[in-house]
Structure 1
Amino acid sequence: MKKIAIILLTLWAFTACNDQEETPASIAVDFSFSHVMDGNPLELESTTFTLPSGEQFIPRKFKYYISNITFKNNSQGTSYTVSDGYFLIDEAGKKNFSVEVPADEYDQLTFYVGVDKARNHSTDQVGDLDPSNDMAWNWNTGYKFLVLEGEWEYESNERQGLVVHIGNNDPESEQNFKAINIDLESAGKTLGTEAVVDLDFQAELNELFLDPHELVLHEMENTSIMGGEWAINIANNYQEGFFTLQ
């Protein structure tokens, strides 16, 4: 009996050690972003898309900041925020990045589009907060949160430009700095014991023009949007339904 007990104890210890080794101390989370318009892959400079309100649109530039990434374990009440995580996503450049987080059973993810108040008016250029990225205002301090530029026309009228530069209309209230909440559990992406996790997001640009505020370019007096009510409306649009975890 003693021999059997020793064998069982040894097997238990071996299994426990293996379980410990299989649980990583940290998790590498790889973020990637793809962009579509009406479900079709976004292509700059070459492809004409039809906007929800009927205008023909050729996109020239599209980029935005992702920041303040926080993972939460709602059942345990724990969370982890990525320190100095400011990442520029550019359709013409980088569309992915990786962060390392302590191992935990995370079931909720929150990130923001834009730059928080503390960094928006700071000279500490952490992460991708480099003015050479063409995301800093040239007439004011701070950063553009989201940029969309292109040309549009409607019913064979003369082609016009669209310039959408969204930043902070009100730095104190951090207006236009919008949280994106992702339920990892519902998406089948709960983080746990895996050493590497891929999170692939798709952004549907039509949502910038649709919900909850419809943007009809051919009815606007000016399609250069750099502040004011329409900047707020577009920021509300990208907070709801813009990103989907694939």
Structure 2
Amino acid sequence: MTFQIKYIFAVMATALTLASCSNDNDTAASGRGKLEVEFDNVFGEANLILNGQENMTSQGETLTVSDVKYIISNIELTKEDGTVFVYPKSESYFIVSEANDVSHVLELANIPAGNYTRIKFGIGVDEAQYNLGETVQGDFFAAAQNEDMAWSWSAGYKHLLFEGTFTSSTVGTATPFMVHTGKSGANYNYTAVTLDFPEKALVRTNITPDVHIFADVAKIIDGSNKIKLTDNNMGGMGAMIMSGENLPLITTNLSDMFAVDHVHND
């Protein structure tokens, strides 16, 4: 009896394994499907909460974040066989705003079915696209203006907006800070991020994977490059970083701001 039970369990385990393998390596996968990319903003190990949560940096500064927004662009998806699907550029510009939950999930449609293992995307609007002119940008530039993610056309887009108040050992009163990346002098400050998936995203006509990405906003100023808001405090105006030598350093930090936490295939 014991042998029979063990045999039945073994057969069931084998069937489940084969079913899983069949689903994962479905050679008959064809057609097109959808994929969702979800951005979840955190500050270090804590979920980011706007207006009220105190966040400590390694530089001894305490930040209360009031607003975080960034432009995601130029999405590319890599299959397990190394082939790359480039999402249509005209549809590949999104504004993720912490204050707008709907904006956290990018819904990508018409993607060739397959097993995907990697994503690449830009932070900001790339210079080549910007150089095509305001007419080509059209609706997206208007949307960026509505979201306060663009200056005048000649000044270009804000690739990232990071705002709030801070205190430090020498700044005892809550003082405003504003960090905006974008075109500055000879630096365009656009960067691309490439992330591997911890498990395959199985795009099928009947499966829409969700790729869950954590964005650690602490790394904007507290990444491989350490930027102290105190050093940029302009008195009554607060700490304002929108140009100068810090912007390329912050742009470098953005490359390490994102990490894929998990993939849902259901």
Q: Please tell me the TM-score bracket, short chain as reference.
A: 0.7 to 0.9
Give the deviation of 1:206 after TM superposition. Answer: 1.7
Paired amino acid for 1:143: Y
> Residues of 1 paired with 2:156 and 2:37: CA distance?
25
Partner of 1:136: 150
Give the deviation of 1:169 after TM superposition. Answer: 2.5
Residues 21/139 of structure 1: CA separation in 2 closer, same or farther (3 Å cut) = closer
> Residues of 2 paired with 1:95 and 1:78: CA distance?
24
Moved more, 58-67 or 126-135: 126-135
Alignment gaps of 5+ in structure 1: 1-18
Q: Where does structure 1 differ by over 6 angstroms across 4 or more consecutive aligned residues?
A: 19-22
Partner of 1:245: 260
Q: Does 1:161 align with 2:172?
A: no
Partner of 1:87: 94
Query: Contact 1:61–1:149 (CA<8 Å) still a contact in 2?
Result: yes
Partner of 1:214: 226
Partner of 2:214: 202
Partner of 1:188: 199
Which one of the candidate residues 38, 43, 47 is aligned to 1:37? 43
Query: Contact 1:201–1:243 (CA<8 Å) still a contact in 2?
Result: yes
Which one of the candidate residues 96, 118, 122 is aligned to 1:108? 118
Alignment gaps of 5+ in structure 2: 1-24, 262-266
Partner of 2:190: 177
> Residues of 2 paired with 1:102 and 1:77: CA distance?
11
Moved more, 151-160 or 94-103: 151-160
> Residues of 1 paired with 2:147 and 2:139: CA distance?
13
1:189-234 CA-to-partner distances (Å, cap 9, x unmatched) read 3445463110111111221223321112223354201112111111
> Residues of 1 paired with 2:231 and 2:260: CA distance?
33
Q: Does 1:99 align with 2:108?
A: yes
Which one of the candidate residues 68, 71, 74 is aligned to 2:77? 71
Residues 138/159 of structure 1: CA separation in 2 closer, same or farther (3 Å cut) = farther
Paired amino acid for 1:198: D
Q: Does 1:236 align with 2:249?
A: no
Give the deviation of 1:76 after TM superposition. Answer: 4.7
Give the deviation of 1:119 after TM superposition. Answer: 3.3
1:57-108 CA-to-partner distances (Å, cap 9, x unmatched) read 1111100000000112363544333332101000001211200211233322
Q: Provide the secondary structure at the position in 2 that maps to 1:208.
A: helix
> Residues of 2 paired with 1:51 and 1:236: CA distance?
18
Moved more, 201-210 or 150-159: 150-159
Query: CA RMSD of the aligned region, Å?
Result: 2.6
Query: Contact 2:116–2:200 (CA<8 Å) still a contact in 1?
Result: no
Residues 128/24 of structure 1: CA separation in 2 closer, same or farther (3 Å cut) = farther
> Residues of 1 paired with 2:241 and 2:210: CA distance?
34
Give the deviation of 1:118 after TM superposition. Answer: 3.5
Aligned residues: 223
Partner of 2:3: none
> Residues of 1 paired with 2:214 and 2:108: CA distance?
19
Q: Which has the higher helix share?
A: 2
Q: Provide the secondary structure at the position in 1 that maps to 2:210.
A: strand
TM-score (norm 2): 0.75
Moved more, 117-126 or 59-68: 117-126
1:18-48 CA-to-partner distances (Å, cap 9, x unmatched) read x999734112111111111121111111222
> Residues of 1 paired with 2:82 and 2:193: CA distance?
21
Q: Provide the secondary structure at the position in 1 that maps to 2:157.
A: coil
Query: Contact 1:213–1:234 (CA<8 Å) still a contact in 2?
Result: yes
> Residues of 2 paired with 1:170 and 1:210: CA distance?
24
